[in-house]
A and B are shown apart, each in its own frame.
Chain A
Amino acid sequence: MSDSPPASDGRHGVPWAQFAKDLSDPAKAHDKPEALDDLRVLDVSSGNFAALFTSSILAEFGAEVIRVEPPTGDVARLYSPEGVTHRGTGLAYLVEARNKRHVTLNLHTEQGRLLLVRLARHVDVLIESELPGQMDAWGIGYRQLSVLNPGLIYLAVSTHGQFGPRAAQVMPDYDITDQALSGVPYVTGEPEGEGPAESSAPTKQGNWIGWYVGGGFGALSVLAALHWRVVSGRGQFLDLTPSEAEMRFSDAGVIWYHAAQRIQERVGGLHIQVFPYTLIKTRDSYSFVAGFSDVNFTGLTNIMGRPDLKERFATTKDRILKARELHQELERWSADLTAEDILHRFQDYMVHKRGPGTVATARLNRPEEVLAEPHWWERGVLQKVDDPDYGELLLQAPPWKMSRTPPRIKWACRPVGADNEHIYLKYLGLGKGDLQALRTAGVI
């Protein structure tokens, strides 16, 4: 099979990079099996890209994911910059509908809820993002569905969670509020008094990082629950809040407060734990540069031709506490250099081992400049998907290379209700006539 050893192995065989590429090149993904093709997932979430990213991950690894939308389509299909749509669907949804079947079902009707109960008997995982308690009140929550399907893994996404003092508080889940609660914006951005008031404020990440982190944890917990089900035969209820998920990432935030009653504040492009580890202005753009431990800082000052800086900023603590001053020195050096010059000097130092220390740099790339780097295309990170319903779409591919069960994109998206006939026939035996009656009744 694909993961068989090459003729000669070990240190004397083919170079590691070649070996690793032969094993894991995503260009060959379609010839290999899928890890989760025994899994069925019902995603009934509403306007929630944390839930959608969870089901995307499962679908990329081969699960049959059935997206259940209201007859008018999920509101998530409207989320788009300036409201731009492509063939009737907003841009964001086109990214997170990959490999998913799309059916409609009106959960606001009794008949719709009965159909959901019947579908839920057939699946391994159900994902929802209603306000906590709503599904339960409708009779289609974990309590009710797990009676019929004890192996069910039920993932509920919300901002404050299913239990705890704030659980009952009405709070629709959005990325921006998840980010805010995580505390990450508080420590991101320019400090008070630096530049105009508008920008010297806690700053959100431009993308939906709260939702993506939440969605990643959703997939992680579903997979852990799946392993537990293999062991025990039992399903369970998973309570996911993207806000707490992103908060889990907040470095030393809570423990620094516990240990020293210190609150981390904003430092813009500087850093409070490591320095130099920062963005500097170049002749043409900006570059990130790092050389933060004593030995790595030596490497950096060697490249700059400024050994005197080693004495002025001798310790880690000096460099962090006098970061602003050191940053000025770095920018004095980089003012006449392009980002490419800096990369060249760093690589020369590293590859030819011209001195001690590990240094790293990168040009600040706009997305369009990311597309211009052949590296990402060779690695299959970005992919032009030819979708039968939506035409050619440029999508970010699944980020893992795997030797035996690689993830993949099979199709990008489906129109609202496009798989009604297939799915309702396959799981509930409903024919065209039945579906027509349900359509007339406003159920699908």
Chain B
Amino acid sequence: MAEREAQEYFQWTAALFDRARVFDKPEALRGIRVLELTTLVLGPTTADFLGELGAEVIKVELPPGGDTMRYVTPEATYWKNASLGFYPENHSKRHVGIDLHAEDGKALFRQLASRSDILVENFRAGTLDTWGIGYRQMREGNPRLIYVADSGFGQWGPFSQGRASYDAVAQTVSGTIAITGFTGRPPILCGIFIGDWFGGLMGATAALVALHHRDRTGEGQLIDFAQSEGLIRTLDWTWVRLGLTGRDRGPAGNRDEALVPAEIFPCRDGYVAVAAARDAEFAGLCQAMGEPALASDPRFATLPARQKPEHMNPLLDTIRAWAGRLGRAEIEAAGARHGFAATRVATARDKHDDAHLRARGSVWQYEDPLYGEMVEQGPAVKLSETPARIKWAAKPVGWHNHDVLMRLLGLSPSHIKDLEERKVVGQWADRNGARPPADWSGGPRI
């Protein structure tokens, strides 16, 4: 495309998606209320993705300890008395502490559910049903309710009964770990809670599908989502090949077996990923390597030729040798110049310092009333008319008790005081993870 045209296009997109104008635009899910009773990552992310898009999220925790994730943080270190592991999946929520073992606590929870559009929980299958606050009971008071039951193995089926699950259980049972890493080396875990996060994304997606059905019919429904099944869904061609050829899949190191060339290579100052599946991109890569003849070599000229293992291996060796002589920035520049994909393997610092990611709000900087300056991973997708956003950071257990009980449910201050005295409603324990920062002076709870 002509350069001037392109420039004009990017000026238009820069204005259309301007990060500075995000708060001047409406939110896609405004007026949708999400009630979550969740712990760790799977359930909280389900609600968080909806919250980023404008839903109002009320997070109910059992006081005074609250969500277990409040005590899961890198190297068990706390920052301003809070868990660093708790922030990424708990944004712009209102935190309420209710003891759900108490009858009056259940009644409060039922009241909140009757005023909500979506309920998210991730207890073991059937727990909330036993407590009398599950889907069966909640739909009576609110037939429009969309009930998302997140779990490891589902609400029914042999593994759903009494078997605990975490993210890495899902990685292990789904085949994910078996196809990752290097042959002959011990198996490795994904460095992030991938099964939880992907599960949260799938849970939120199904909630919006159900919302569309409700927009049309007024009906709510039950969604049973198991994170192990979410990961099974992501294993691309694994299952179809097993079915057609009986051939199992193992680890293939850092190369993409289906696209050639595509691999992560060491370079002078770190690691880079390089990919060039389309023939024109591959010709560009050959040009960049100073080996233009490779592009017309019958062993490499087409993708089907490059995919043959006897051709793929020497080709990847050639690229590895080339990449090893250069730095990350040089290889990225060569990709941009010659039209193939090349990028660094980013570290946390790379992401934190990246002006591009800041401009896009994918690294999101904001000032929280309690924690001050925050820099976090921001909303993933940019919506031109209804941009997603982060408003405030996660708060201590029960931080918004009064706000929610009084301004949403209309309870009087004396009623709330009574509930507090009877420990039906409560706030944080005096321990790291649950409590406010040491310098908090007891001011207003925004």
Does B298 count as interface, using CB distance less than 8 angstroms? no
Is the Cβ of B84 less than 8 Å from the Cβ of A10?
Answer: no
State in angstroms the CA–CA spacing of A378 and B68 once bound together. 32
State in angstroms the CA–CA spacing of A359 and B162 once bound together. 11
Is the Cβ of A279 less than 8 Å from the Cβ of B172?
Answer: yes
* Nearest opposing residue in chain A for B215, CB measure: A230
Q: How far is the CB of B420 from chain A (nearest CB, A)?
A: 27
Is the Cβ of A165 less than 8 Å from the Cβ of B355?
Answer: yes
State in angstroms the CA–CA spacing of A400 and B154 once bound together. 9
Is the Cβ of A137 less than 8 Å from the Cβ of B5?
Answer: yes
Contact among A38, A90, A209 for B234, CB-based, below 8 A: A209
B208 proximity list for chain A (CB < 8 A): 220, 223-224, 226-227
Q: How far is the CB of B46 from chain A (nearest CB, A)?
A: 11
Is the Cβ of B346 less than 8 Å from the Cβ of A186?
Answer: yes
B212 proximity list for chain A (CB < 8 A): 35-36, 223, 226-227, 230
Contact among A236, A272, A363 for B384, CB-based, below 8 A: A236
Q: How far is the CB of A173 from chain B (nearest CB, A)?
A: 7
Q: How far is the CB of B205 from chain A (nearest CB, A)?
A: 5
The verdict on A272 contacting B187 (CB below 8 Å), with A24-B155, A212-B198, A379-B157 known, is no
Is the Cβ of A199 less than 8 Å from the Cβ of B238?
Answer: no
The verdict on A207 contacting B213 (CB below 8 Å), with A244-B380, A269-B186, A281-B186 known, is no
State in angstroms the CA–CA spacing of A189 and B221 once bound together. 41
Is the Cβ of A177 less than 8 Å from the Cβ of B125?
Answer: no
List residues of B (97-142) whose CB comes within 8 Å of A's CBs.
Answer: 125-126, 129-130, 132, 134-137, 140
List residues of B (151-198) whose CB comes within 8 Å of A's CBs.
Answer: 153-166, 168-169, 171-182, 185-194, 197-198
Is the Cβ of A179 less than 8 Å from the Cβ of B273?
Answer: yes
List residues of A (71-92) whose CB comes within 8 Å of B's CBs.
Answer: 75, 78-84, 86, 90-92
Tell which of B289-297, B358-366, B401-409, B422-430 binds the partner: B358-366
State in angstroms the CA–CA spacing of A286 and B168 once bound together. 13
* Nearest opposing residue in chain A for B238, CB measure: A367
State in angstroms the CA–CA spacing of A78 and B136 once bound together. 48
Tell which of A301-309, A316-324, A422-430 binds the partner: A316-324
Is the Cβ of A3 less than 8 Å from the Cβ of B221?
Answer: yes
Is the Cβ of B77 less than 8 Å from the Cβ of A367?
Answer: no
Is the Cβ of B240 less than 8 Å from the Cβ of A189?
Answer: no
Is the Cβ of B201 less than 8 Å from the Cβ of A217?
Answer: yes
List residues of B (264-321) whose CB comes within 8 Å of A's CBs.
Answer: 264, 266, 271-278, 281, 303-304, 307-309
The digit string for A251-291, where 1 denotes a CB below 8 A from any CB of B, is: 11111111110111011111111100111010000111010
A226 proximity list for chain B (CB < 8 A): 208, 212
Q: Interface size class for chain B?
A: 35 or more
A273 proximity list for chain B (CB < 8 A): 72-76, 85
A83 proximity list for chain B (CB < 8 A): 303-304, 307-308
Tell which of A102-110, A112-120, A368-376, A432-440 binds the partner: A368-376
Is the Cβ of A249 less than 8 Å from the Cβ of B348?
Answer: no
Does B204 count as interface, using CB distance less than 8 angstroms? yes
Is the Cβ of A367 less than 8 Å from the Cβ of B191?
Answer: no
Q: How far is the CB of B19 from chain A (nearest CB, A)?
A: 9
The digit string for A173-209, where 1 denotes a CB below 8 A from any CB of B, is: 1111101111111111110000111110111111111
* Nearest opposing residue in chain A for B153, CB measure: A375
Does B206 count as interface, using CB distance less than 8 angstroms? yes
Among A11, A16, A82, the one with the most B-chain Cβ atoms within 10 Å of its Cβ is: A16
* Nearest opposing residue in chain B for A394, CB measure: B243
List residues of A (384-416) whose CB comes within 8 Å of B's CBs.
Answer: 384, 392-405, 407
State in angstroms the CA–CA spacing of A321 and B340 once bound together. 42
* Nearest opposing residue in chain A for B262, CB measure: A176
State in angstroms the CA–CA spacing of A100 and B97 once bound together. 47
Is the Cβ of B77 less than 8 Å from the Cβ of A260?
Answer: yes
Does A161 count as interface, using CB distance less than 8 angstroms? yes
A183 proximity list for chain B (CB < 8 A): 345-348, 350-351
Is the Cβ of A400 less than 8 Å from the Cβ of B232?
Answer: no
The verdict on A225 contacting B162 (CB below 8 Å), with A163-B14, A164-B356 known, is no
The secondary structure that dominates the A interface is mixed
Is the Cβ of B250 less than 8 Å from the Cβ of A244?
Answer: no
The digit string for A120-164, where 1 denotes a CB below 8 A from any CB of B, is: 000000000000111011000101000000000000000111111
Does B20 count as interface, using CB distance less than 8 angstroms? no
Does B342 count as interface, using CB distance less than 8 angstroms? yes
The verdict on A172 contacting B374 (CB below 8 Å), with A217-B381, A249-B192, A358-B164 known, is no
State in angstroms the CA–CA spacing of A82 and B305 once bound together. 9
* Nearest opposing residue in chain A for B275, CB measure: A174
Is the Cβ of A86 less than 8 Å from the Cβ of B244?
Answer: yes
* Nearest opposing residue in chain B for A160, CB measure: B356
B135 proximity list for chain A (CB < 8 A): 20
Contact among B10, B161, B342, B381 for A245, CB-based, below 8 A: B381
B174 proximity list for chain A (CB < 8 A): 365, 370
Contact among A186, A197, A402 for B221, CB-based, below 8 A: A402
The secondary structure that dominates the B interface is mixed
Q: How far is the CB of B63 from chain A (nearest CB, A)?
A: 17
* Nearest opposing residue in chain A for B41, CB measure: A251
Is the Cβ of A219 less than 8 Å from the Cβ of B191?
Answer: no
Q: Interface size class for chain A?
A: 35 or more
Does A213 count as interface, using CB distance less than 8 angstroms? yes
Does A7 count as interface, using CB distance less than 8 angstroms? no
Is the Cβ of A205 less than 8 Å from the Cβ of B180?
Answer: yes
List residues of A (303-355) whose CB comes within 8 Å of B's CBs.
Answer: 315-317, 320-321, 347, 350-351
Q: How far is the CB of B390 from chain A (nearest CB, A)?
A: 11
The digit string for B221-258, where 1 denotes a CB below 8 A from any CB of A, is: 11111100110111111111111110011111110111
Contact among A24, A94, A176, A228 for B273, CB-based, below 8 A: A176
Does B38 count as interface, using CB distance less than 8 angstroms? no
Contact among A81, A258, A398, A399 for B226, CB-based, below 8 A: A399
Does A248 count as interface, using CB distance less than 8 angstroms? yes
The verdict on A350 contacting B225 (CB below 8 Å), with A172-B281, A371-B242 known, is no
Does A61 count as interface, using CB distance less than 8 angstroms? yes
Does B322 count as interface, using CB distance less than 8 angstroms? no
Is the Cβ of A256 less than 8 Å from the Cβ of B9?
Answer: no
State in angstroms the CA–CA spacing of A23 and B129 once bound together. 15
Is the Cβ of B169 less than 8 Å from the Cβ of A360?
Answer: yes
List residues of A (36-67) whose CB comes within 8 Å of B's CBs.
Answer: 36, 38, 47, 49, 57, 61
Q: How far is the CB of B352 from chain A (nearest CB, A)?
A: 5
Among A82, A253, A262, A277, the one with the most B-chain Cβ atoms within 10 Å of its Cβ is: A253
Q: How far is the CB of A388 from chain B (nearest CB, A)?
A: 17
Q: How far is the CB of A132 from chain B (nearest CB, A)?
A: 8
Is the Cβ of B191 less than 8 Å from the Cβ of A266?
Answer: yes
State in angstroms the CA–CA spacing of A165 and B22 once bound together. 18
Is the Cβ of B239 less than 8 Å from the Cβ of A405?
Answer: no
Does A171 count as interface, using CB distance less than 8 angstroms? yes
B211 proximity list for chain A (CB < 8 A): 223, 227
A399 proximity list for chain B (CB < 8 A): 202, 225-226, 229-230, 232-233
Is the Cβ of A17 less than 8 Å from the Cβ of B236?
Answer: no
Among B191, B204, B243, B307, the one with the most A-chain Cβ atoms within 10 Å of its Cβ is: B191
List residues of B (54-90) whose CB comes within 8 Å of A's CBs.
Answer: 68, 71-77, 79, 84-85, 87-88
Q: Please name the 4 residue pairs, one residue from A and one from B, whose CB atoms are nearest each other, closest first.
A: A394-B243, A187-B191, A83-B307, A206-B179
If A180-B264, A209-B198, A212-B233 are given as contacts, then 15 extra A-B residue pairs at C-beta distance below 8 Å, sorted by A number, are A11-B132, A83-B307, A91-B241, A167-B13, A174-B275, A187-B191, A190-B185, A254-B351, A258-B375, A273-B85, A279-B172, A290-B164, A320-B75, A367-B239, A368-B242
22 interchain pairs, CB-CB under 8 A: A10-B136, A17-B160, A81-B307, A82-B308, A91-B258, A172-B340, A174-B341, A175-B262, A189-B181, A206-B181, A209-B194, A239-B381, A239-B384, A247-B346, A257-B349, A257-B375, A264-B74, A271-B189, A279-B189, A350-B163, A358-B164, A403-B223
